[in-house]
């Protein structure tokens, strides 16, 4: 199920352009590309959102051939080729620490199981990007459901020499990777089924496109941050009226919750603490989806968007802050064969995109 990268490219210095992992939505990507798009990995990943593509009215499919050529040029200038390698990888920063294995993974649903639902349109777009580029520039984050300590120890023993790449991202995380040929490491990393911690859309797209680059890790200090909701085109007063049967109290100074059971709603500058109905085995994000549906709002519709901690979007009618989902709750839903709602968890730290690029199918 896990195998080496048959053909790939490892960065020589820094990934060209802005840090692609710092952009959470289409608006921020488009804004960043408006400032600088030429010769960047971000432009390769989002070719239809560059100023030139927008000015020309190009669709994603129109823009992909040029993006593939641009990626070839990037790998020629900023990368060196590698063959038949796996990459022990370590990331340490203010939001946690993880050591694991960067490699190719067959997205077999019996071995790699989703933790969250996905948006089909996002999956379809990402699959087209993968196929169009012919390469994998970002990795999913997969967590073994058992035998994590053995994986951590095995990878740590393979990281004693100087790394092939060492870099610090814009948030202060240090990323290091080594390039090795080790069937023994692959065997340890393959010992347990894998849960998708981050990259559910990426994994679903990989199943369509035919290849998955993944960072398989058990921590030792993986953390889960809050993932929240923003509502647009929703009247705050009407929403409060629809939820009038709940325990709601005005709390102008309320901060985002840290423990499950409540949400904090920001309605045009005012804040309210709302106690959520409790149901065993149901996380807060699923409860909120039921409450939105009861208020006539489709949780998967265009009025609802998501954002992680610290990335509040501007000009929102309603912001709904939820507590981070505790890891035992995530594992319990997964063990029961269920899935959480889309964008329920924000695992950190993540591998940095673009340090190691794998050929699709390689």
d(CA 144, CA 195): 6
Q: Residues 6 or more apart from 186 whose CB is under 8 A from it?
A: 2, 3, 4, 86, 101, 103
Domain ranges of the chain: 2-224+347-359, 227-323
- What's the pLDDT score for residue 347? 95
- What's the pLDDT score for residue 362? 60
The DSSP letter of residue 136 is: E
pLDDT per position in the chain (362 positions), as tens? 899 999 999 999 999 887 777 776 777 788 888 887 678 999 999 999 999 999 999 999 999 999 999 999 999 999 999 999 999 999 999 999 999 999 999 989 899 999 999 989 999 999 999 999 999 999 999 999 988 999 999 999 999 899 999 999 988 999 999 999 999 999 999 999 999 999 999 999 998 888 899 999 999 999 999 999 999 999 999 999 999 999 999 999 999 999 999 999 999 789 999 999 988 889 999 999 999 999 999 999 999 999 998 888 877 889 999 999 999 999 999 999 999 999 999 999 999 999 999 999 76
Which helix (H) or strand (E) segment holds residue 84: the answer is strand 79-85
Beta strand pairing call for 356-359 and 135-136 = antiparallel
Helical packing angle, 120-133 and 200-209, nearest 10°: 50
> 268, 230, 266: which is closest to 251 by C-alpha?
266
- What's the pLDDT score for residue 313? 82
Beta strand pairing call for 140-144 and 213-221 = parallel
Q: Counting Cβ atoms within 10 Å, is residue 147 exposed (0-12), middle (13-18) or buried (19+)?
A: middle
Q: Counting Cβ atoms within 10 Å, is residue 111 exposed (0-12), middle (13-18) or buried (19+)?
A: middle
- What's the pLDDT score for residue 71? 97
Q: Calculate the dihedral angle through the C-alpha atoms of 231, 237, 239, 242, rounding to the nearest 10 degrees.
A: -170
Is-contact 116 200, C-beta < 8 A?
yes
Beta strand pairing call for 247-250 and 304-308 = unpaired
- What's the pLDDT score for residue 37? 66
d(CA 358, CA 137): 7
d(CA 122, CA 274): 31
For the chain, count helices (H), then strands (E): 11, 21
Is-contact 135 69, C-beta < 8 A?
no
Structure tokens, 317 = 């009618």
Beta strand pairing call for 270-275 and 247-250 = antiparallel
pTM to 2 decimal places? 0.93
Structure tokens, 256 = 């985002």
Collapse the DSSP code of 124 into the 3-class scheme (helix H, G, I; strand E, B; otherwise coil) and give the result. helix
Whether omega for the bond prior to residue 316 falls within 30 degrees of 0, making it cis, is: no
d(CA 158, CA 327): 28
């Amino acid at each position: 199920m896990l195998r080496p990268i048959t053909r790939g490219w490892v960065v020589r210095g820094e990934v060209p352009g802005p840090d692609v992992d710092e952009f959470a939505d289409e608006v921020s990507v488009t804004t960043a590309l408006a400032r600088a798009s030429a010769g960047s990995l971000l432009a390769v990943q989002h070719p239809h959102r560059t100023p030139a593509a927008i000015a020309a009215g190009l669709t994603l499919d129109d823009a992909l051939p040029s993006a593939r050529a641009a990626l070839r040029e990037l790998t020629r200038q900023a990368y060196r080729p590698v063959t038949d390698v796996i990459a022990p990888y370590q990331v340490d920063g203010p939001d946690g620490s993880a050591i694991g294995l960067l490699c190719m993974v067959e997205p077999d649903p019996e071995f790699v199981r989703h933790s969250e639902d996905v948006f089909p349109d996002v999956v379809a777009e990402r699959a087209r990007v993968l196929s169009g580029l012919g390469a994998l520039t970002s990795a999913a984050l997969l967590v073994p459901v058992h035998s994590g300590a053995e994986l951590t120890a095995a990878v740590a023993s393979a990281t004693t020499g100087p790394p092939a790449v060492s870099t610090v991202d814009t948030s202060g995380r240090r990323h290091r990777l080594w390039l090795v040929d080790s069937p023994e490491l692959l065997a340890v990393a393959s010992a347990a089924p894998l849960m998708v911690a981050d990259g559910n859309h990426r994994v679903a797209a990989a199943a369509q496109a035919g290849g998955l680059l993944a960072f398989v890790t058990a921590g030792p200090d993986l953390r889960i941050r809050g993932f929240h909701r923003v509502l647009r085109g929703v009247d705050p007063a009407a929403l409060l009226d629809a939820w009038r049967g709940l325990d709601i109290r005005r709390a102008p100074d309320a901060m985002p919750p840290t423990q499950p059971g409540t949400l904090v709603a920001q309605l045009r500058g005012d804040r309210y603490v709302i106690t959520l109905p409790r149901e065993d085995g149901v996380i807060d994000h699923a409860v909120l989806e039921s409450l939105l549906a009861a208020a006539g709002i489709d949780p998967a519709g265009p009025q609802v968007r998501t954002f992680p901690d610290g990335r509040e979007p501007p000009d929102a009618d309603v912001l709904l802050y939820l507590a981070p989902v505790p890891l035992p709750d995530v594992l319990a839903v997964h063990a029961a064969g269920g899935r959480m709602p889309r964008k329920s968890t924000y695992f950190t730290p993540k591998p940095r995109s673009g340090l190691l690029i794998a050929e699709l199918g390689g």
